[in-house]
Amino acid sequence: MTYIITQPCIDVKDAACVDVCPVDCIYEGPDQYYIHPEECIDCGACVPECPVDAIFPDDEVPAEWTEFIGKNYTHFELAPPA
């Protein structure tokens, strides 16, 4: 499991999540931040720090934002989970 950053982050890009990540797996993209799924240790430290509530475990992403799962994996040139 990894965490996924969704729609509310678009163009907000508050770096509070980056600052608390113990393994530095959150990277800045052109429109939002992304969590590297192979580096994330599933600690959840980023979730309460997000001021716009944009971060979810990949199996709990709200239905209206599920496309962000694929977008996250594509950002790192990885295949999304099946």
CATH of the domain at 7: 3.30.70.20
The pLDDT-based confidence of 81 (bands split at 50, 70, 90) is confident
Identify the pLDDT of residue 80.
Answer: 82
Q: Which residue has the tokens 């729609």?
A: 7
- Does residue 58 lie in a domain region? yes
Looking at residue 82, its pLDDT comes to 72
Model pTM score: 0.94
Tokens representing residue 32 in the block = 């939002």
Count the helix, strand and coil residues of the chain and give each as a percent rounded to the nearest 5.
25, 15, 60
Structural domains counted in the chain: 1
Q: Which domain holds residue 70?
A: 3-75
| Number of residues in the chain | 82
- Predicted confidence band at 38 (pLDDT cuts at 50, 70, 90)? very high
Within-domain flag for 61: yes
Please compute the mean of the pLDDT values over residues 25-31 and round it to a whole number.
96
8: pLDDT strictly greater than 90: yes
% of the chain at pLDDT higher than 70: 100
